[in-house]
A and B are shown apart, each in its own frame.
Chain A
Amino acid sequence: MANDTAVRVAPARFRIPSKLFPYLLSLPALLVCIGILIPFFTAVWFSLQRYRLSQPWNRGMNWGENYLNFLTDPSFWNTLQVSLVYAALTVGLELLLGLGIALLLQKRTRFNNFISIMLLLPLMTAPALAALMFKLMTNPNFGILSYFAQVLGFENMRWGSDPSTALLTVVLVDIWVYTPFIMILLLAGLRSLPTQPFEAAALDGVPRLQQFWRITLPMLLPYILTASLFRLLDSIQQFDIIYAMTQGGPGDRLMVFQVEAYLNFFQSTNVGRSAALLLILWAITFFLSNLFIKNWLRLRERARGEA
C-alpha cells in the first residue's frame, strides 16, 4: 500500500516482553519449588542405598534391597497396619461426629454460629500442644481424664502408656483437633445446598430421616468426599500428635510411617530404610492427593460460581 512508507515504528526502547512477565513473577516461587524438589530426589537416591550414618564405610548402592526387605520385615507391616488403622479410625470417627455436629448447627442462628466459631479453637491449637494438653489430662497423678476413668470404675487406666489404650488415646486427641475441620466444611456445604428439593419433599410428606438419606446425603457427598480425602492425606502421615504423646510407643504400638522413619533416621541412623519408608508413604499420599485435587477443583469451581 502507498501509505506504508508513512507508518512510523514505535520508538525502540527497552521493554520486558509481556510474555516473560508471568515467568518473572513466578520465578522466586519456582526457585523455592526447585529447592524442595532436590531433597525429594535425594531421598529417592538414599532409598536405593545401604546407608547408615554410623557405618559410613559400608555405604553403597543396593538398589531395591531396602524395599524388598520390607516384604519380610514384621516391623514394616506393623507400621503399615498401624498407619492405616489410625487413618481409618480417625477419619471415620471424625466424619461421623463432624457430620452430626454440622447437622445440629445447620440453621443459621446466632447461637449456632457462636458455637461453630468456638469449635474452631481446637483446630487452631497446634496438634503437638494438643497432645501435650491431653498428656497432662491423662497424667495418673492429677489428670482429670484419669480421675474420670477412676470414677467410672477403670482403675489404673494408663491411657497413652498402656499398649491396649495407646491407640485410643492418640485417636482421641486427633478427633479433638480435627473434627472441627470436617464439621466446618460440611456445615458450609450444608448451608449452600439449594432449598427447593427439601421444600418439595416436605410438601410431599417425605419423613425427615428419608430426606436425609435421599436428598441431604447425596447432595453433600462432594463435600464429604473432599473433607475425608483431605483428612485422610493428613492422617496417614500423622506425626505431631503421636510423637508428642508417646514417640511411637509403648513398644512399637504407635509406630506410624513418619514416626518410624524419624526414629530410623535419628536413632538407628538407618538413612536408607528411613528414605524407603517415606517413599512408600509418599506413594500412598500421591495417589490420595490426586483423588483429592480432582474433587477439590470441582468444588472450588462450584464455590467460585456461587460467589
Chain B
Amino acid sequence: MSGIQIKSLTKTYKSDAVLDDISLEVPEGKTLALFGPSGAGKTVLLRCIAGAVEPEAGQIILNGMDVSGLPPEERNLGMAFQNFALFPHMSAEENIASPLKARKSTRDQISTAVRRVTELLKIDHVLGHAPKELSNGQKQRTALARALIAEPDILLLDDPLRNVDAKLRFEMRLELPRLLSGRGATVIYVTQDYKEAMALGDTIAVLDGGHITQIGSPEDVYLRPANTAIASLFGDPVINLLDVVPERDESGIFVMLSDQKVHLNSGYDAAVGREAIIGLRPESLRFANEGIPVEIEAETPFNEKIVTLTQTKRGREIIVSRPAGTDAPSTGTACIAVEGTSAVLFDRKNGERIVPASDEKEQAA
C-alpha cells in the first residue's frame, strides 16, 4: 500500500478539536488538494503528517508505514511552507542542498541535483543570494526546490502560492502540475483558492472546522457541493443561494422563483414540500427575453467576466456572470433564464445537499 493514508486523526489545542477524526487516502502518485477557509485546520493536518505536530489519536501511514511517533527527519518527505521558512543565515543554494546534506550525499551529487532542480525552477542565477535578497517569487521557488530536491515520495505543499504576486501565481499554477506529475510523488496541496484546488488536485478534500466535509473530484466538488458552505467557497462570483420549496405537478418537479416555474432534474422526489435552498451558479444564468424579471442594480467587470447584480421584485439578489464582450442590458429591467437542470438543492435546516435519486444510483455503482 503506497501513498498516504490517514485514519481517524484527532488533534486538540486546549480542548478545542482542531482536527476531529480525519480520515483520508491519497493514492500513490496522485495529488490531493486540501481546500478550506483559514483556520480550518489544513496547516495542522500537514504538520501532523510531517511530524512537526503530534496528534492525540489516529494513524498516519506513509508508503505503507505507520509513522506515528517517528520524528520529522525520519519520515522522508518534502514540504514547502506558506511563509517559505527559508533558513535566513544560509544562501539559497545551501537552503536547497540541505535535504541532500542530511542524506549524506556526495558533493558531486549535491551540485548536480541543485543544478537540475534550480534550472527547472529558473532560480539558478540567484543561488548565492541570502534569502532576504530574494524576491517573493524567488523565495517561493527556493522553498519549492528545497522540498523537491531529495525526490521524496511524499510532498506536502502548504499554500505555496499564497504569498506571491498574482502573475507568478498564475504562472506557477500552470507549471506546478507538470512539476508534480513528472516525479510520481504523492502530493497533498493545501490551498484557500478554489481555482488552485481545481487546477492541481486529482482529488479535492474540503476541510472545514476540523472536519472533512467533502472528498471528491474537482468536478464533483464544483457541481455537487456537499453543503451550502462548500458551494459558496467554490466559485467566484459566489453561487446564488435562494430559499425555495420544491413542488410537483404534472410537468415534473419545480421551484417557484418570482412566480416563474423553474424545473429541476427528476430524482428530487424526496425534496418535494421540504424547505430547501437552491444553488444557482452565476455563470449558469443568462439574460434572455423571458424568465425571471429582475431590476439591474450594478454591473462590474471581474477578471474575464462581467458580473451583474440584480434584484427580483421580492428583493432577492441574484448575481449573473457572463464572458466579457458579450452583450447584455446594463441598466433597467431584464429577464433571467434559469437552467434548472444545473441547479443544486440543499436542505435549509442543515445546509446539506439533497442528493437526487439519479446521483445515488451513480454513487452506488
Give every chain A residue within 8 A of B90 (Cβ-Cβ): none
Contacts of A20 in B (CB 8 A): none
12 pairs of residues in contact across A and B, judged by CB atoms under 8 Å: A6-B64, A7-B1, A7-B61, A7-B66, A8-B64, A8-B66, A10-B67, A10-B68, A10-B69, A10-B70, A10-B74, A18-B54
Residue of A nearest to B25 (CB): A3
> A10 to B1, Cβ gap below 8 A?
no
Q: What residues of B have a CB within 8 angstroms of the CB of A104 in the complex? A: none
Contact flags A1-38 to B (C-beta < 8 A → 1, else 0): 10100111110000100100000000000000000000
B324 at the A/B interface (Cβ < 8 Å)? Answer: no
Chain A residues contacting B66 (CB-CB under 8 Å) are: 7-10
| B58-101 Cβ-contact flags toward A at 8 Å (1 or 0) | 01010011111111001000000000000000000000000000
B64 and A7 within 8 A (CB): yes
What's the least CB distance linking A307 to chain B, in Å?
15
Is the pair A10, B65 in contact by a Cβ cutoff of 8 Å? yes
Q: Which of B5, B7, B64, B71 contacts A18 (CB 8 A)?
A: B71
Q: Residue of A at shortest CB range from B63?
A: A8
Which chain B positions have C-beta within 8 A of A3?
1, 5
Cross-chain contact of A8 among B5, B7, B65, B74 (Cβ < 8 A): B65
Q: State the CA gap A6–B62 with chains docked (Å).
A: 12
* Chain B positions within 8 Å of A1 at CB level: 7
Q: Which of A1, A6, A7, A9 has the most CB of B within 10 A?
A: A7
Which chain A positions have C-beta within 8 A of B71? 15, 18
- Total interface residues on B, CB under 8 Å, equals 15
Report Cα–Cα, A81/B7, bound state, in Å: 70
In the assembled complex, which residues on chain B have CB atoms less than 8 Å from the CB atom of A15?
71
Tally inter-chain residue pairs, CB-CB below 8 A: 26
Kindly provide the distance from the CB of B26 to the nearest chain A CB, expressed in whole angstroms: 14
Asked if A7 and B65 sit within 8 Å, CB to CB, the answer is yes
Chain A residues in 8 Å Cβ range of B74: 10
In the complex, what distance in Å separates the CA atom of A8 from the CA atom of B63? 9
A214 CB to nearest chain B CB (Å)? 41
Return B194 CB to nearest CB of chain A, in Å: 31
User: With A15-B71, A18-B54, A18-B71 in contact, do A9 and B1 touch (Cβ < 8 Å)?
Assistant: no
Task: Give me 14 other A-B pairs in contact (C-beta within 8 A), A1-B7, A10-B68, A10-B70 excluded.
Answer: A3-B5, A6-B1, A6-B64, A7-B1, A7-B59, A7-B65, A8-B64, A8-B65, A8-B66, A9-B65, A9-B66, A10-B67, A10-B69, A10-B74
Which residues does chain A contribute within 8 Å of B59, judged by CB atoms?
Answer: 7
Closest residue on chain B to residue A8 by CB atoms:
B65
B54 nearest in chain A by CB position = A18
B34-78 Cβ-contact flags toward A at 8 Å (1 or 0): 000000000000000000001000010100111111110010000
What is the bound-complex CA distance between A81 and B153, given in angstroms?
75
- Alpha-carbon separation in the docked complex, A6 to B64 (Å): 7
CB closest chain-A residue, reference B2:
A6
Distance, CA A90 to CA B61, complexed state (A): 66
In the complex, A42→B5 CA distance in Å? 59
Chain B residues numbered 148-194 whose CB sits less than 8 Å from any CB in chain A: none
How many angstroms between the C-alpha atoms of A3 and B64 in the bound complex?
9
The closest CB in chain B to the CB of A19 belongs to B54
In the complex the two chains form, what is the Cα distance from A1 to B66 in whole Å? Answer: 14
Q: Mark A129-160, 1 if CB is under 8 A from B, else 0.
A: 00000000000000000000000000000000
> CB within 8 Å of A: which of B211-231?
none
Closest approach, in angstroms, between the C-beta of A153 and any C-beta of chain B? Answer: 64
Please list the 7 inter-chain residue pairs (A to B) with the smallest Cβ-Cβ separation, ordered nearest first: A8-B65, A6-B1, A3-B1, A10-B70, A7-B66, A7-B61, A9-B66
Rounded to whole Å, the gap between the CB of B93 and the closest CB of chain A is: 30
Residues of chain B contacted by A6 (CB below 8 angstroms): 1, 64
Q: Fill in one digit per residue for B1-13: 1 if any A CB lies within 8 Å of its CB, else 0.
A: 1000101000000
Which residues of chain B from 1 to 31 have a CB within 8 Å of any chain A CB?
Answer: 1, 5, 7
CA distance A262 to B306 in the complex (A): 86
Query: Residues of A contacting B1 with CB < 8 Å?
Result: 3, 6-7
